[in-house]
Structure 1
Amino acid sequence: MLVNADFSRRAAIAADRYEWVRSPQYGVERVMLDRVSAADGHEKARATSIVRYAAGSHFPRHTHDGGEEILVLSGCLSEGDRHYPAGWYLRNPPGSSHQPASEHGAVIFVKLRQMSRADTRTLRIDTHAPNAWIHDEGREICQLFSDDDEEVMLARLAAHEYVFVDAVAGAEMLVLDGELLADGTRLLQGGWLRLPAGMHRDVKAGARGVTLYLKTGAFRGLPEGVAR
């Protein structure tokens, strides 16, 4: 299955345009933001999704060959006796396994099979912790991950502040609060935007400011033949 699979083009989905579909696991639904399936069309795919767990739902233990990145948006996600309420960022490296569940329900932002094989770090970051945020060049950021190829953070921008001051190799944003404006597109909480390489001077916070999940860098995990 291909969803927003041409990474040389801008892609955007507003929260009021979400299309929830059932996953293979009972009680779990997802909105596919982008997806590039393996050649055999099997469930394993490079994918970015919003995933919704009903109360009491779970996945059996499984391994992520290409890693998994999670931001808990609402509710609480659990891994065994460890519980991650809204605001927690989880990064599970390639080859790691887990058994996620939610007793009372949860909504999470998930990126699958998009990590470098050299990435061996397991991260658990509470982005609501006051000491998780710093001031950097006039804006507040919560650094989540950085290497030679990509940078992942949460960022709080003031009203009408531009997101980018330099060209990027690629970028992806999820609006967590406030308003994002991009070339005539208005995205509120839950809105998602992916941008190809280039200078994107049209992307800025709205009148109320914006808090974003922001990833910049080259897109990883793309099969041969997929437009970058």
Structure 2
Amino acid sequence: MMAMPQNLNMDFTQAVTIFSQQQAWLKSPKAGVWRKPLERLEAEAGWTSSIVKYEAGATFSTHQHPLGEEIWVLDGVFSDEDGDYPAGSYLRNPPGSSHAPFSRQGCTIFVKLNQFLATDSQAVRINTEQQVWRPGIGGLKVMSLHSFATQHTALVHWPAGEIFQPHRHFGGEEILVLSGEFIDEHGRYPSGTWLRRPHLSEHCPYVERATTILVKTGHLPEAN
């Protein structure tokens, strides 16, 4: 089994782009659970972001979230002892919580561990397929998922041909492209691409075709 990398992309002053569709799946400690690491402090602890795949019937043992867990269900149905969460679900398990996740039919999730502020204690369960989009700047549609202190997480839908104003990211920006293709002056990012941009970075994004992204801002340290 290939070892999980340590100290992966932990210099928060650097921009990172990962085309996760091109990554190989790595085995986890649990049979039937596979991972694509995006950023990671230690092999099985600390600040971590990953794409995780559960094969049908796979289970993960009960574990705690010392500084929280944030999940976006990409496909299939993710489950734990509190419920079933289909594709398009957004979950937050606060610091000190625990659960025993599994998937009956299989699923893929985007998961972030140990990145909450210690006082961010709200548990969140949102099925975005049942939520209303709100108008954003220009032709954008926005669905807010969570806000705490300077940190904000949202879905943003871009109509074909939309161009956004140049802007700067205080506290950084992190994007997972869910569908379509996100573009800026630095590159083109198809579905499955994960981007992290540091504190006070700038860009002018746009799209050529309809695109949806999961975006988080204001959560990155100013330095590593």
TM-score with structure 1 length normalisation?
A: 0.89
1:185 corresponds to which of 184, 187, 190? 187
| Structure 1 partner of 2:3 | none
Distance 1:120 1:56 in 2: 30
Runs of 5+ in structure 2 lacking a partner?
1-5
**Which one-letter code corresponds to 1:195 in the other structure?**
R
Q: Residue 2 of structure 1: CA displacement?
A: 1.5
Distance 1:184 1:191 in 2: 14
Change (3 A) 1:180 1:102: same
The answer on whether the counterparts of 1:162 and 1:201 sit within 8 Å (CA) in structure 2 is: no
User: C-alpha deviations, 1:144-203, integer Å up to 9, x for none?
Assistant: 11122210001012324227634422010000111111334221111110000124223x
| Structure 1 partner of 2:147 | 146
| Superposed CA RMSD | 1.8
Question: Across the two proteins, how many residue pairs are aligned to each other?
Answer: 217
Aligned to 1:6, the other structure's residue is in SS state: coil
Do structure 1's residue 217 and structure 2's residue 218 form an aligned pair? yes
Runs of 4+ in 1 over 3 A off after TM superposition: 163-167
Runs of 5+ in structure 1 lacking a partner?
221-225
Change (3 A) 1:66 1:49: same
The answer on whether the counterparts of 1:179 and 1:205 sit within 8 Å (CA) in structure 2 is: no
Distance 2:101 2:166 in 1: 35
Distance 2:113 2:165 in 1: 25
Change (3 A) 1:219 1:94: same
Distance 2:187 2:25 in 1: 22
Q: Residue 81 of structure 1: CA displacement?
A: 5.8
Distance 1:156 1:176 in 2: 10
Do structure 1's residue 36 and structure 2's residue 38 form an aligned pair? no
Distance 1:186 1:160 in 2: 15
Change (3 A) 1:142 1:82: same
Change (3 A) 1:148 1:109: same
Distance 2:68 2:169 in 1: 27
**Which one-letter code corresponds to 1:180 in the other structure?**
F
Q: Which structure: greater strand fraction?
A: 1
Aligned to 2:35, the other structure's residue is in SS state: strand
2:170 corresponds to which of 168, 171, 196? 168
**Which one-letter code corresponds to 2:8 in the other structure?**
V
